Amino acid sequence: MKKKIYFGLVPVLMILLISISTGFSQITITNTTDYRTMEQMLLANEINESGEPWAEALGYNLDDLDPMVPNQPDSISYTLGIEAYEYSRYQLGTVISRSGIGLHMMWSPIIMQMASMAPEAMDGKFTPSSNGYKEDDVLVGMIMQLGRAAHFKPFKNPWPQFAEFIQGDPHLPQDIASDFATDFKTLRWDRSKMVKTLNLGAMGQALMKQYLWAQDMLGSFHDENESEVVPDGVSTPDSTNGKFDPSNNIFIGGDNADGFIGQVLTAESINKVLFTINKLAFDGTSLGGVNPATYNPADGIKYFPHKIAITEGAVLTGLPPKLNGMEVTDKSSHLFDQISFLWGTLNFRNMMNPADSSDEAHIAYKSAFDGDPFPASMSQTGVPGPFDLMMGASKVLFMNIAAMHFDPGNKTFVDISGLENGSVKRGKTISAVSAGYTLVILKKMEEEFKGTPIEGKPTQMAMAQATFLINNLKADNGDYYNFYKIGDGHSEGTSLRAISAAIRGLYAAYELTGNSNFLDEANNAYKFLISNYYVPSKHIFKTNLATKVFTESFFVQRGIKWIKRAGVKKVEPG
């Protein structure tokens, strides 16, 4: 049966990515030094979802594509299935294991906890000699374990990390060695040029990137020859006690590399979320932890602030620097930060769900979350595991978004909120970008929390937000304004990023609520987008309707996926 596809199921501006294959002589790159993690990761996430899945939905067979044969069988399939894939994967590898743009996994919560419990004999067990630290041995031992489970020899000199910084300079300060594909030492960025600040938006979009690849990489099994072993509930990498058994000749992941990388991504993500809820919760005065099992905003809000500057200290020659201080430099809560992180935790919650055997991929995931390599859920062991962590973090984030960012009187979310003398003080502005993406995340929240006390609340909020979006941000001609300020009205300007985010959100609202008006409005906005923003002769979309110079930065909240290099692009179509 032919699949029914709504444009809202994928980012609506996929045509932008397709059109880049024609090339533009007028494009000028004006900034190559500022790599902004949140924007780059969001771009890569949208490219990922608009790439291979979209190509398959259109009926293409990915096995027909060859990276070395451009535009075959046609440019659309190649752009979606190859270029989108390669760009997304490059961003993944750069951020999570090569650049050094974050806190090193050696000092992550679980590694440090395991080191504190390990005997003194652990020091030097997996490293050349003892050095007074067990964390390096614990990390190396874990990497070796993940490699065995995937039948893969781990890369040399990676920089696995559990919390991403907001910005860095992607220019390499050293020459690249010939063995860069297996040894990442010469792929490190200049860490002195990084903005060492933690932000939930950057960490959240990176978390979503980690999920998108982990769920793909760990969704099957393979044997020692890298032939696929279909997860059927019988074939498994494990023995009867849930421990990995190499004699089964079945390994985690679709192939050797996928199995290893997928496990590393998952380990990084678990540590990131654990670090966030244990260390980054803010009560308006100090940072600390929040307990998802008992948390109630009415008893005192603990939220995740917009910016936390960190300092690192040298530990020992040969070991990565360690976090030794944090300071909140922006106390405000930003809606887009919160939904970015929630996007990742909700999807990992889905991946780790022990009750989900709906497809081969979820059957395969069970072998990863059965105690080896990752702990099982509390429902199986009586002890909270990664599934419970992701569910608990999602609950805290949603409760904070509802308490701090939803204005019940005006029935809309607002972009920025904060605490004043312990009480919530909401801003008055909601952008089309935040409104649209919030609708997307509310849909996922409702799906993942069915059967819980939260059920129904995301749908109610989505109904209100979608209605507000149409009534207050839609222009008379069908375009969408950039923002609306309660008490003042909408902005004067409209833009590509505003209308594309509105379309994305309205399709999600329709799928969640079944309200046909949302579908009609999304379709109408899409028609307006194509008729008014697209310039066929230049194969590009206008940034706005008021100028011929098209300027786009990598603040890709609206899913502009065709821009493929860092910086600002300008095109003059006249």
Q: Show the tokens assigned to 6.
A: 């709504």
Q: What's the pLDDT band for 142 if we cut at 50, 70, 90?
A: very high
- Give CA torsion, residues 459, 463, 468, 474, to 10 deg: 110
Q: What pLDDT is attached to residue 534?
A: 86
pLDDT digits (tens, 9 = 90+) for 343-367: 999 999 999 999 999 999 999 999 9
Residue 568 has pLDDT above 60, yes or no: no
Give the pLDDT score at 85. Answer: 86
Cβ contact 94:124 at 8 Å: no
Question: What per-residue confidence (pLDDT) applies to 346?
Answer: 99
In angstroms, the CA 397 to CA 321 distance is 30
Burial of 330 by CB count in 10 Å (0-12 exposed, 13-18 middle, 19+ buried)? Answer: middle
- Size of the chain, expressed as the number of residues it contains: 574
Q: Quick count: other Cβ atoms within 10 Å of Cβ 176?
A: 10
**pLDDT surpassing 60 at residue 153:** yes
Tell me which residue of 439, 443, 449 sits closest to 393, measured CA to CA.
449
56 — pLDDT class (breaks 50, 70, 90): confident
What backbone phi and psi angles, to 5 degrees, belong to 296? -140, 115
pLDDT given for residue 519 in this prediction: 97
| β-pair partners for 197 | 309
DSSP 472-516: IIB-TTS-BBSEEETTTEE-S-B-HHHHHHHHHHHHHHHHHH--H
Tell me: pLDDT of 431 over 70: yes
What is the 8-class DSSP label of residue 154? P
Average pLDDT, rounded, for the chain = 91
pTM of the model: 0.92
Structure tokens at 360: 């081969």
**Which pLDDT does position 485 carry in this prediction?**
98
- Strand boundaries in 106-241, DSSP class E: 161-168, 195-198, 221-222, 228-229
In this prediction, residues 468-494 reach a mean pLDDT of: 98
Q: Per the structure block, which two tokens stand in for 456?
A: 């129904």
pLDDT, tens digit, 9 for 90 and up, residues 260-305 = 999 999 999 999 999 999 999 999 999 999 999 999 999 999 999 9
Cβ-contact 238, 249 below 8 angstroms: no
Of residues 417 and 10, more confidently modeled: 417
C-alpha span between 113 and 108 (Å, rounded): 9
262 sits in the region (left: phi over 0; alpha: psi -120 to 50; else beta) called alpha
Backbone angles phi, psi at 535, to 5 degrees: -115, 95
Does residue 32 or residue 475 have the better pLDDT?
475
Structure tokens at 76: 């659309």
DSSP state of 177: P
Q: Is residue 552 very low, low, confident or very high in pLDDT (cuts 50, 70, 90)?
A: low
- Of 203 and 10, the one with more pLDDT: 203
pLDDT for 550? 67
User: Quick one: average pLDDT of 215-239?
Assistant: 96
Higher pLDDT, 332 or 569: 332
